[in-house]
Amino acid sequence: MTAENQPWTHRFRPSCQAEVVGNERALSQFRTWVRSWEKGIPKERAAFLHGPPGVGKTSCVVALANDLNLDLLEVNASDFRTKKRLEELVGRASFQTVTITGKRRMILFDELEGVSGQQDRGGITSIRDIIKETMIPIVLIATSPGEKWQDKFRPLVDLSTLIEFSPVPFGAMVRRLRECAAELGIAVDLEVLEHLADRSQGDLRSTLNDLETVSRGKERVTIQDIGGLGERDRKDYTPDALNKMFSAKSLKEARSVISSAHIDYDTLFDWIYENLPVVLDSPRDLVRGMEALSRADIHQTRAQRTQAYRLLKYMFNEMTGGVALSKLYSTGTGLLSQVREKTATLGFPPGAFTVTESREGIEVKPVKYLGNDWRTVNNGLREVGAQWVRGGNAWLIPYFRPPQLVWRYRRTYQSRRRRNEVAAKVAERCHISSKEAVAEVIPLVKVMVDGDPGMADEITGWLDLDDKQSKWLKS
């Protein structure tokens, strides 16, 4: 592939540390650690680089290897979990301080978040053993999505120099984007660069992809050209990774989504759960897919309770391969059918909306001005993941929508509040717990209230419900 045809993230990848954007302190710390090997084996034989995706962790290692003329052996840790495979690839290399060409060697374990955990036959334990005996520098890289990320990698953290990478600063990102555009002879308005940098949350890699997308085929890019650029998840193309997973034909292909999504597996689990009914539109497929997710949830819960992180590999198998291989009878029209069903239930006459497929997703456009009805329609379409596109006068439902759990909790807050208030009064009258009242008594009371309006007044009076609580019970 020629340089002109390469993605911008590869074309503009730093070749030396002077070209790495941001994280000067981390770069200096890493360079000091690598140079310390010139005086002998240091106390910590590994450096653990961690931070959010797209901030230059891997690029920093490759660039420094070029600067110091090191032979860099790159290993994707998520692809080499067993002790045997790791030793075959890395075991001997970790004792060879100089290659046959005379270069000093360094080993890089990338994407450690894809390793399932401590286990007798591979994973973190095997990498730990290699670090203890290595005669050359070993670099570990992992995305650190939460405060407790170190717990999983504790055996490696204890043997390593920790180097934290932070999101790329706004100003540095704008300068780098301008340099890339100028090198290609593309005029990009400053407003565009600032908008892309602001929405990126410090992820330079995905921002560079955004700029490539809006610049394709253009000599000049203005703010109008980025109007259709949706607010993607900044954690490295999760929708693209999901598309790859759901279309996978093998377990290995499906599992690759864990590293390509670059988000923690809890968030990935939520994404899969949210989009499962859309992709698996056959009831038979959906049952199998939900069962696979249920088993994945069981393995995750047991791994957390017992700290037996080796069980996470079974979680990964079920939530990716188990789900993907459940797709046998689905037609791929699930989202379109859901959107059409939703618009039909909004109470408007047929033909009030046009529903069309686009490259980004399903577009729902009102035929005429909705006025005060806009909020009702918006709330209804939000249930299928729609977002109003300002300037486009339409709603867009992406093919893979972000988890809607938080929005649903916010939307049902008042209803759940009324339910808990009624449950407390039922519990007091019936001498049971509020949990039991919610699960067993209130559903029965609602049936009685719906069937007999006269009994409804008696029940609300007996429970001493106020107007809002009474309205909730009768709704």
Encode the chain (475 residues) as per-residue pLDDT tens digits: 445 556 777 777 888 888 888 888 888 888 899 888 888 888 888 889 888 877 888 888 888 888 888 888 877 765 555 566 666 666 666 666 677 777 788 888 887 776 654 443 456 777 888 888 888 888 888 876 544 556 677 788 888 888 888 888 878 888 888 888 888 888 888 877 777 777 677 778 878 877 887 777 778 877 766 655 554 444 445 777 787 788 888 888 888 777 666 666 777 888 888 888 888 888 899 999 999 999 999 998 888 788 777 788 888 899 999 999 998 888 777 777 778 888 888 888 878 888 887 767 788 888 888 888 888 888 888 777 777 876 668 888 777 777 766 556 666 777 888 888 888 888 888 888 988 888 888 888 888 888 777 787 888 888 888 888 888 888 7
CA distance 334 to 326: 15
> What is the pLDDT at residue 291?
95
Burial environment of residue 443 by CB neighbours within 10 A (0 to 12, 13 to 18, 19 or more): exposed
Q: What is the pLDDT of residues 126-138, one digit of tens each?
A: 788 888 888 888 8
Helix intervals (H) in 392-464: 405-411, 413-430, 434-436, 442-451, 453-463
- Name residue 187's beta-bridge partners: 220
Please identify which residue in the block is written with the tokens 């540095």: 172
Q: How far is CA 416 from CA 298, 423, 438, in A?
A: 27, 10, 10
**Which helix or strand (DSSP H or E) is residue 131 part of?**
helix 124-133
Short-list 160, 127, 130, CA closest to 49: 160
Q: Which amino acid is at 110?
A: D
Supply the DSSP symbol for 113: G
Task: Tell me the three-class secondary structure of 307-366, residue by residue.
Answer: CCHHHHHHHHHHHHHHHHCCCCCCCCCHHHHHHHHHHHCCCCCCCCEEEEECCCEEEEEE
Q: What is the pLDDT of residues 34-58, one digit of tens each?
A: 888 888 888 888 889 888 877 888 8
> What is the pLDDT at residue 292?
93
Angle at which helix 170-183 crosses helix 204-215, to 10 degrees, equals 40
> What is the pLDDT at residue 120?
36
Short-list 43, 40, 17, 41, CA closest to 30: 17
Supply the DSSP symbol for 89: I
Are the beta carbons of 179 and 190 closer than 8 angstroms? no
> What is the pLDDT at residue 94?
66
> What is the pLDDT at residue 288?
93
> What is the pLDDT at residue 21?
83
Angle at which helix 204-215 crosses helix 190-199, to 10 degrees, equals 140
- Token code pair at residue 429: 């009258």
> What is the pLDDT at residue 150?
63
Please provide the DSSP assignment of 151-196 as one string. Answer: HHTHHHHTTEEEEE--PPPHHHHHHHHHHHHHHTT-EE-HHHHHHH
CA distance 324 to 256: 12
pTM of the predicted model as reported, rounded to 2 decimal places: 0.49
Residues 6+ apart with CB under 8 A from 275: 242, 246, 400, 401
How far is C-alpha 315 from the chain's CA centre? 16
Residues 6+ apart with CB under 8 A from 187: 181, 219, 220, 221
3-state secondary structure of 417: helix
- Token code pair at residue 143: 């995305």
Q: Which amino acid is at 456?
A: A
User: From edge to edge, which strands make up the β-sheet containing 71-76?
Assistant: 71-76, 105-110, 138-143, 46-51, 160-164
> What is the pLDDT at residue 93?
67
CA distance 175 to 44: 36
The sign of the dihedral angle between the CA atoms of 134, 138, 142, 147 is positive
Beta strand 122-123 with 138-143 is unpaired
- The region, left, alpha or beta by phi > 0 then psi within -120 to 50, assigned to residue 423 is alpha
> What is the pLDDT at residue 293?
93
316-340: b (≥16 Cβ within 10 Å) or e? bbbbbbbbbbbbeebeeebbbebbe
> What is the pLDDT at residue 295?
94
